Amino acid sequence: MTSNNKWIDITSDIQYSPDLFCIPPHYNKDIKSVLIPYGFVKDRIARLANDIVNDANGPLNVCCILKGGYQFFSDLVAEIKKIRTINNSSVPLTYDFIRVKSYINTQSSGNVKISLSEEELRKFEGKDILIVEDLVDTGKTMIELLKYLKQYNPRSIKVACLLIKKRENQDYPYIPDYVGFSIPDEFIVGYALDYNEHYRDLDHICIINDEAKKRFSI
């Protein structure tokens, strides 16, 4: 595990046995390893919230990307509100929820579906938007989403993303403004990230084994 100025690098040599953590019994047989324990995720989010508040120039319209971004959104907003109480900083928040789907099994479908009504999108005009996303892999989802949202003339759009995937010998295709961790090229679940809708209710960010992938494949 190393660090640069922008995020924490989680490398594939550090993976923890699930036996060292509390795993819901219904997932006991499925977890190959714990990649990022929940407590570590929360500690990193506290700092991201701090950075976001320091950079804010007024009210923020925070857009949660569903479903995978909901846990990150919830913890991030809670931390921003905590800073507000401690520092008396005044960043009013409004919320939007955008449903985006691009993955089937462990593969990007390449076909990004975005759901938000025209009426809701028009309200973005002149606002500072903070997109809260779980993970950037190929970057296709975020690049498409940003292109789409920019048509509605927000004053600014920034992206907070908990995880970015590092593919071997490849550059990051897209780098968000705020990043929690860089992770190796593995399919991960937990902390609201799913495998065909399973494992969202697991707190730690984990790698599942091949039997689990087979069992819940569609």
> In degrees rounded to 5, what are phi and psi of residue 124?
-75, -15
Q: Between the CA of residue 161 and those of 16, 31, 73, 180, what are the distances in Å?
A: 23, 24, 10, 7
Residue closer to ligand 5GP, measured from CB, 60 or 142? 142
Stretch that binds ligand 5GP, among 16-24, 26-34, 121-129, 189-197 (CB under 6 A): 189-197
Span of 26-34, 43-51, 89-97, 190-198 interacting with ligand 5GP by CB under 6 A: 190-198
How many Å is the Cα radius of gyration of the chain? 17
Strand locations in the chain (E)? 2-3, 8-9, 31-36, 60-66, 93-104, 107-115, 128-136, 156-166, 178-184, 188-189, 205-208
- 86 or 218: CB nearest ligand 5GP: 218
Question: What is the token pair recorded at 172?
Answer: 């990051």
Catalytic (active-site) positions: 137
| Site membership for ligand 5GP, residue 196 (CB under 6 A) | no
CB of 109 to ligand 5GP, least distance (A): 9
Q: Which of 15, 83, 139, 216 binds ligand 5GP (CB under 6 A)?
A: 139
- Nearer to ligand 5GP by Cβ, of 37 and 139: the residue is 139
Of 194, 209, 213, 216, the one binding ligand 5GP by CB under 6 A: 194
**Residue of 33, 71, 102, 182 that binds ligand 5GP (CB under 6 A):** 102
Q: Which of 31, 63, 76, 193 binds ligand 5GP (CB under 6 A)?
A: 193
Q: What is the DSSP letter of 30?
A: T
What span, in angstroms and rounded, lies between the C-alpha atoms of 1 and 200? 25
- The reply on whether position 56 binds ligand 5GP by CB under 6 A is no
What whole-number distance in Å separates Cα of residue 14 and Cα of residue 93? 37
Can you give the binding site for ligand 5GP, defined by CB under 6 A? 68, 102-103, 108, 133-141, 187-189, 193-195
